[in-house]
Chain A
Amino acid sequence: MFYIYCPYCGEHREEEEFHPKGQAHLARPENPDECTDEEWGNYLYFRDNPRGIHHEIWVHAIGCRKFFNVTRDTQTYEIKESYRMGATPEVTHANDPLS
Chain B
Amino acid sequence: MSEVINKTVDEATQVAIMDQCPTADVPARSPLAHQDQSSKVAPQNPGVFLWEDALKTHLVLRGDANNADFRQGIEAATGLDLPEALQSTQSDDWALGWIAPDEWLLTGPGDQAFAMETTLRKHLSGHYAVINVSGGQTLVRLAGPEARSVLMKSCPYDVHDRNFPIGKIVNTVLAKSQATIRRLGENDWELVVRRSFADYIWRWLMDASGEYGLHLGQPDAATAARQSNPSRANPVEG
Q: Give residues of chain A (47-99) contacting chain B, Cβ–Cβ below 8 Å.
A: 62-66
Shortest CB distance B80–A (Å): 20
Instruction: Determine whether the beta carbon of A9 is less than 8 Å from that of B86.
Output: yes
Instruction: Determine whether the beta carbon of B100 is less than 8 Å from that of A8.
Output: yes
Given contacts A9-B86, A13-B172, A17-B173, contact A64 B100 (CB under 8 A): yes
A9 and B100 CA atoms in complex are apart in Å by 8
Residues of B within 8 A of A64 (CB): 99-101, 103, 171
Instruction: Determine whether the beta carbon of B156 is less than 8 Å from that of A16.
Output: yes
Shortest CB distance A14–B (Å): 4
A62 and B194 CA atoms in complex are apart in Å by 13
Instruction: Determine whether the beta carbon of B86 is less than 8 Å from that of A16.
Output: no
Shortest CB distance B236–A (Å): 19
Given contacts A62-B173, A64-B171, contact A14 B156 (CB under 8 A): yes
Residues of B within 8 A of A13 (CB): 157, 172
Shortest CB distance A38–B (Å): 33
> B-side binding surface: helix, strand, loop or mixed?
strand
> A-side binding surface: helix, strand, loop or mixed?
loop
Q: Which 5 A-B pairs have the closest CB atoms?
A: A64-B100, A14-B156, A62-B178, A63-B171, A8-B101
Interface, chain A (partner B; CB < 8 A): 8-11, 13-14, 16-17, 62-66
Interface, chain B (partner A; CB < 8 A): 85-86, 99-101, 103, 156-157, 171-173, 178
Besides the known contacts A14-B173, A63-B172, 19 further A-B residue pairs in the complex with CB atoms under 8 A apart: A8-B85, A8-B100, A10-B85, A10-B86, A14-B156, A14-B157, A16-B156, A17-B156, A17-B172, A62-B171, A62-B172, A62-B178, A63-B171, A64-B99, A64-B100, A64-B101, A64-B103, A65-B100, A66-B101
